[in-house]
Amino acid sequence: MNKELMIFMLVIFGIASTSVSGQQDAQYTQYMYNTVSVNPAYAGSRGVLSIMGLHRSQWVGLDGAPRTQTLTLNTPIGNSERMGVGLSIVNDEIGPTDETYFNIDFSYTIPTSEQGKLSFGLKAGGHLLNVDLQRLSQFNSNDELFENNIDNKFSPNVGVGVYYHTDRSYVGISAPNLLETDHFDKSTTSTTSNAVSFLAEERINYYLIAGHVFHLSDDLKFKPAILSKLVFGAPLQVDVSANFLLYDRVTLGAAYRWSAALSAMVGFQVSDSMMIGFAYDKETTELGQTQFNDGSYEVMLRFELFKKYNRMLTPRFF
């Protein structure tokens, strides 16, 4: 890693470490395998067709707790080392609401040195919102606000990202959803006011992701990484992780979500083309101390096709 990039990462880590967590977009513990969902500039950077599926059950045991399913695909375009495309589909369920996101990504890469590459990305798509108001506990059963559900309400989406990487280091900044959307229902029960009740409000999520791979020996690699998410009006979320890759086959790691959770991760490179990963989160907040919260679970499966020979010998750690 060059000196300027190292200084930049240290400054970002110092700023991020003073903050606490928050959530609006879907949350992932194994974010290091899901970069294209938050940064379109990552599309095609692995140099192969990469397909990843992930399921997350958060706060298991709590009624209406978040559940997320993610499917992503990204690949370079033809034989080009400069252009990449990606596709991502995310289904996010929280309480009476569920949202389905679908996006197409495009990236363009510029070599900055013998090892460094700088990629610029665009994301375009949209999402569908459903809200089943009948699932809510109603104080007034005759409240007109709860009479009509929201069904497949469409909102467009555009996003941008920048991603710099070498064989051992990476850092990216992105805003995958630049269009703020308010989902609301104007109350008609009052003739003296035009009250607005907001059911859901989309805010811009800003992401920073960075990491570095240390080659401790021929059979052992160590990668610390950080993911920071900023949403104005909510606390800053910071995830710090550390993963060890043994014999290019087994990944063992731990993570800390600032003031929110501790996590354990394990991954297996089953073959040159297939990897499976698991993660478990234990809340460190008061919510985690309740008898109804059994923690959060993730399972991830990744297939990679049309791999180059040298990629089979030394699998990418990010």
Q: How many CB atoms lie within 10 A of CB 180?
A: 11
- Residue 269: what residue type? Q
Structure tokens at 235: 């606390």
Decide: 104 and 97 in contact? Cβ < 8 Å. Answer: no
> E strand or H helix at 310, and its extent?
helix 309-313
Structure tokens at 32: 């290091």
Report d(CA 183, CA 130) in Å as an integer.
11
* CB-based burial, 61-72: b 16+ in 10 Å, e otherwise: eeeebbbbbbeb
- What's this model's pTM, rounded to 2 decimal places? 0.81
Report d(CA 232, CA 36) in Å as an integer.
22
Report d(CA 186, CA 165) in Å as an integer.
48
262 within domain boundaries: no
pLDDT for position 312: 44
Helix (H, G, I), strand (E, B) or coil at 170: strand
Structure tokens at 52: 């990843």
pLDDT for position 193: 46
102 within domain boundaries: yes
Place of tokens 């710090």: 240
Going by C-alpha positions, the residue among 157, 199, 150 that lies closest to residue 179 is 157
207 within domain boundaries: yes
pLDDT in 10s for each residue of the chain, 318 residues? 444 444 334 333 333 333 333 345 778 899 889 899 999 999 999 989 999 999 999 988 888 889 999 999 999 998 778 999 999 999 999 888 899 999 999 999 999 998 899 999 999 999 899 988 776 666 566 655 666 778 888 989 999 999 999 999 999 999 998 987 665 554 444 444 444 455 556 678 999 999 999 999 999 999 999 999 998 877 889 999 999 999 999 999 999 999 889 999 999 999 989 999 999 999 887 776 666 778 899 999 999 986 554 444 455 788
pLDDT for position 308: 53
Decide: 198 and 182 in contact? Cβ < 8 Å. Answer: yes
Going by C-alpha positions, the residue among 38, 51, 31 that lies closest to residue 225 is 31
What are the angstrom distances between the C-alpha of 266 and each of 31, 249, 278?
Answer: 13, 11, 5
Number of structural domains, the chain? 1
Decide: 205 and 177 in contact? Cβ < 8 Å. Answer: yes
Full domain range(s) for residue 225: 3-238
pLDDT for position 90: 94
